[in-house]
Chain A
Amino acid sequence: MTVQIPERLDVLLELLDRQLADTEGRLAGKVDDLELTVPDDGGPPVVTAILSGPQALGPRIGGRLGQWMVAVARRLHPDADAQPARIDFAQLARIGPRVLLTAPADTPNQRLETWVRTHLVGRIPGAGHADV
């Protein structure tokens, strides 16, 4: 088993905003924020999850643009109190130009892609014969 993450890392330079990809090579959003958990013993915060999606990016950007981003995401999402996609840090396989995960992801990006394929592309005449 080869460790594939750098031992030391500056988050903004080397991790934030990078593309997430799952084991199938599918794109799974971007690293928009990180969840930090302070251990009970009061030691340094531990990175416990990658947060992805407009509900993570909006608050990070802040200002009117960030508020607008969150408002649009809330309007489009069936759950009015939707939270950002949370990817447990244990699923992170490698940090490089892309951040690779160890499992198929189920992020909003992929749900949107599935919805578009089923409801829009799939209804175009001839779509059923296309090579995927």
Chain B
Amino acid sequence: MRMSDLVGALVVDESGRPLGHVHDLRLVADGVTFPATGNRAYRVHGLVVGAGAVGMRLGYARGHVQGPWLLRVLLRRLRRRRREIPWEAVREVTPGRIVARVAAQ
């Protein structure tokens, strides 16, 4: 499987309700340790999902951006449109579509 098989896919809950598209993969370095470098392998921790937004791709949805009040308001809205689906919630991956078990919001 490639990363690009997941990015862009539509995520739906088990009833088929769309939750948004995958905008990014969140990795956590908690796998095996590579002896040559001491780095640990990355594992997929979750899918960053939400409605499409240029600001999300530019990194403005991550929460530590400062700026004038207008920018902060816009970024707060952007953050609300984004959610992380933990990998443990993923039930099925098919081309272009991912089914996840999520709690109702």
Contacts and interface: CB of A to CB of B under 8 A. Distances in A.
A47 B25 CA distance: 11
Tell me if A's interface is mostly helix, strand, loop or mixed: mixed
B2 A12 contact: no
A7 B37 contact: no
B104 interface: no
Interface in B44-59: 44-45, 48, 57, 59
Interface residues on A, range: 35 or more
B27 A8 contact: yes
Interface residues of B, number: 32
A3 B4 CA distance: 27
A105 interface: no
Interface of A: 1-13, 16, 33-38, 43-48, 51, 56, 59-60, 89-93, 102
